[in-house]
Amino acid sequence: MKIYSSISTALQSDYHIATYVHRLKFIPQLKHNSKPNSRDNKEQVLNDLYRLKSTILSFSGAAPSPVLRCVFSSVKTELWEDEDFTMKAIDLFAEAVMFVKGKLWQNESFVIKAVRYNFKLLKCASPALRANSNVVLNSIRALKIDSGEKLSYFNLELINYYISHELWKNRDFILAAVKYHWTFLQNASPTLRSDKQLVLLAMKTLPQDSNNKRMKHFFNSVVGKSLWGEHSFILEALKFDWRLLKNIDHKLCSNSQVVMAAINNIRYIADDEINIL
């Protein structure tokens, strides 16, 4: 069955989509181009997609999702396993990535393109590519772009779940990931959670709150305990929140540099926090 004839049939059940297509003058084209068996030909199918794209752009610049789903579901599975066809189809319609099958999910360049379209497609990638820092970082960037400044906890947990355990021991990956959000440090290996540079970078992405809850959780649950007694780290950490003074090694609390660093960074003090100093 030809792509166009299958679309024409499927659209009959939806008045709004059918109206859209009729306004595009799409239905007459479907009938005109319904040559038997031609959909088996890769170039013919691509020509159909090019023409569909051109027609859509001439009307509104976008097509209803059911129209595209109908188009892509009528393409044979073998074509979705063809890298050349798939890449060209995705260039025309990013939504086409949802229909890709087989070995393409082992192809790094394809998977990067896929996760840029939808970060959740990382779950479809091969285990080797879910352990590939370049692929995963592209997925994280896509999540950041989609979410704006505020990344949802659910999506962060989701992407953390898809990431291979091997990457949580990879310092270069963690170094890049924590620049997007501090939560990427909490799953890192104990050694990396005691890495001064990584911890300070993660702290930069912590949202400021007057009650210190997030910073307290981060310091108590994520930061390696070996850093609590490191003088140079504490001096830097106190620049983010002076109240961390109560979490550090007691020996440092009598250090004049440390105490002055806390005092110099006081922005707000509640009555029940006076005894920290």
Three-state helix/strand/coil letters over the chain: CCHHHHHHHHHHHCHHHHHHHHHCCHHHHHHHCCCCCHHHCHHHHHHHHHHHHHHHHHHCCCCCHHHHHHHHHCCCHHHHCCHHHHHHHHHHCHHHHHHCCHHHHHCHHHHHHHHHHCHHHHHHCCCCHHHCHHHHHHHHHHHHHHHCCCCCHHHHHHHHHHCCHHHHHCHHHHHHHCCCCCHHHHCCCCCHHHCHHHHHHHHCCCCCCCCCHHHHHHHHHHCCHHHHHCHHHHHHHCCCCHHHHHHCCHHHHHCHHHHHHHHHCCCCCCHHHHHHC
**Residues sharing a CB contact under 8 Å with residue 75, sequence separation 6 or more, in sequence order:** 3, 39, 45, 89, 99
In a domain, 199, yes or no: no
Q: Single out the residue in 100, 117, 150 at which a domain terminates.
A: 100
Give pLDDT tens digits for 61-102: 565 666 777 778 778 888 888 888 888 888 888 888 888 888
**Model pTM score:** 0.70
Residue 17 structure tokens: 């989509």
Q: Are residues 92 and 153 in the same domain?
A: no
In a domain, 198, yes or no: no
- The pLDDT of residue 217: 84
Tokens 């906890």 belong to residue: 153
Q: Are residues 165 and 244 in the same domain?
A: no
- The pLDDT of residue 258: 72
Tokens 């659209």 belong to residue: 11
Q: Single out the residue in 60, 78, 100 at which a domain terminates.
A: 100
Q: Are residues 118 and 149 in the same domain?
A: yes
In a domain, 5, yes or no: yes
CA distances from 256 to 201, 253, 260, 263, 277 (A): 25, 8, 6, 10, 12
Q: Are residues 223 and 277 in the same domain?
A: yes
Residue 250 structure tokens: 């007691």
Q: Are residues 128 and 143 in the same domain?
A: yes
Q: Are residues 126 and 221 in the same domain?
A: no
In a domain, 138, yes or no: yes
- The pLDDT of residue 86: 87
Q: Are residues 4 and 86 in the same domain?
A: yes
- Domain housing 248: 206-277
**pLDDT averaged per 10 residues, the chain (length 277):** 49 46 43 43 82 71 67 81 85 84 89 88 93 95 72 78 93 95 92 96 82 79 87 83 73 74 65 49
Q: Are residues 133 and 149 in the same domain?
A: yes
Q: Are residues 154 and 111 in the same domain?
A: yes
In a domain, 35, yes or no: yes
Q: Are residues 6 and 90 in the same domain?
A: yes
- The number of folded domains in the chain is 3
In a domain, 144, yes or no: yes
Q: Are residues 186 and 217 in the same domain?
A: no
Give pLDDT tens digits for 203-215: 998 877 666 778 8
Q: Are residues 255 and 184 in the same domain?
A: no
Residue type (1 letter), 164: S
Q: Single out the residue in 69, 100, 131 at which a domain terminates.
A: 100
- The pLDDT of residue 60: 58
Residues listed for the chain:
277
In a domain, 200, yes or no: no
